[in-house]
Structure 1
């Protein structure tokens, strides 16, 4: 189990040749799973790339390891339809997380996911800086589908 914040900013490194291809800037979410990472490649005037979760060999504290550069793809229409965690207008970060009963659980800060399958298993939420300092952030288990619309995310069962 891992949070996106532990992966954000890590370099993407090939096991085949040791080359660094860029660094992780975002996670794309769709239908209850983490689909993959958005990579900011090295170099000028190079567009962001997509790294599917299933193509990752391992994730460590110093890098995200891939077999070779062929697993990095341009962002396709499917990936552009997915919901980003940190960047863009439709991002999940900072979105109000509501329960199916209509209770506000907090503002979404991070996600917990299984790195092998990309399954989202929980959401880290905050109720503000003071609450974070006094009580700490809460983790809400993902027991159903997350519906994102209208500037809010609703956990349904």
Structure 2
């Protein structure tokens, strides 16, 4: 299970070519199915057309990248009418107000959780007046552009933790998130640290906003790797694919 914001910015890697073929720009939600049906793809060479990869074409979603078999898994939206239709609906989920069948305003969706194997939306994180809670997708009736309608009894079924949506597997992810916030490196981050420390960049490494992080020829120290970890998986993936030594 992953949060929606863990997808955005991830490199998309073609297994057949062993190359990056774009970045995830946004998630396209199918409101009738309660699924993420497509990921739109950003690429510097595509200035006009909008392209997307169907979720069913994704081989895997990891910490560093979204993996597809080859570049033929990416389609122009003009070739997929349903995808274009869904994009036009602009169902973003995050920022939508939640209202129940009786017309009572409950709160606002601040995040949503996705099964990275199927694209199914498992639940939402809600911001209430005094706290944040989790709500299972079983309590949702309708996804709209600005409003999400939920069942009347939904307030009786709020959850305290995202792990309750899926069980123990999510607990590990939450523990990792806590360890990052407290600067305690997880086992996975320790491996990243050992793998990248002492290696030298073979190109300039930039943030998504264009800021230069590591010039070509930088020999990475532990502080550099930790800085990259803080910048997120997209920066780490770019760094990992462009070092030697």
Please indicate the TM-score interval, normalised by the length of the shorter structure. 0.7 to 0.9
Match of 1:147 among 129, 142, 146: 142
| Unpaired runs of at least 5, structure 1 | none
Query: 1:3-42 to 2 correspondence within 5 Å?
Result: 3-30=3-30, 31=32, 32-42=34-44
RMSD, aligned CA = 2.5
Q: Which has the larger radius of gyration?
A: 2
* Equivalences, count: 148
1:95-114, CA deviations, whole angstroms, 9 ceiling, x for partnerless residues? Answer: 10223343433212222111
Q: Distance in 2 between matches of 1:150 and 1:47?
A: 23
2:190 maps to none
Aligned-residue offset at 1:64: 0.5
Runs of 5+ unmatched residues, structure 2: 153-245
Cα distance change on mapping 1:146 and 1:81 into 2, 3 Å: farther
Match of 2:83 among 76, 79, 85: 79
CA 1:80–1:155 in 2, change beyond 3 Å: closer, same or farther? farther
2:70 to 58, 68, 72: 68
Q: Which SS does the other structure have where 2:49 is aligned?
A: coil
The Cα offsets for residues 31-86 of structure 1, whole Å up to 9 and x where unpaired, read as 211102111123252522111111111111111011100010112321122268xx
The structure with the greater share of residues assigned to strand is 1
Q: Helix, strand or coil for the counterpart of 1:153? A: strand
Bigger CA drift: 45-54 or 15-24?
A: 45-54
Instruction: Give me the whole-angstrom Cα distance separating, in 2, the residues matched to 1:55 and 1:91.
Output: 21
Answer yes or no: is the 8 Å Cα contact 1:56–1:66 preserved in 2: yes
Structure 1 counterpart of 2:206: none
When normalised by structure 2's length, the TM-score is 0.54
Indicate if the aligned counterparts of 2:92 and 2:145 stay in contact, CA closer than 8 A.
Answer: no
Matched, 1:98 2:99: yes
TM-score normalised to the size of structure 1? 0.80
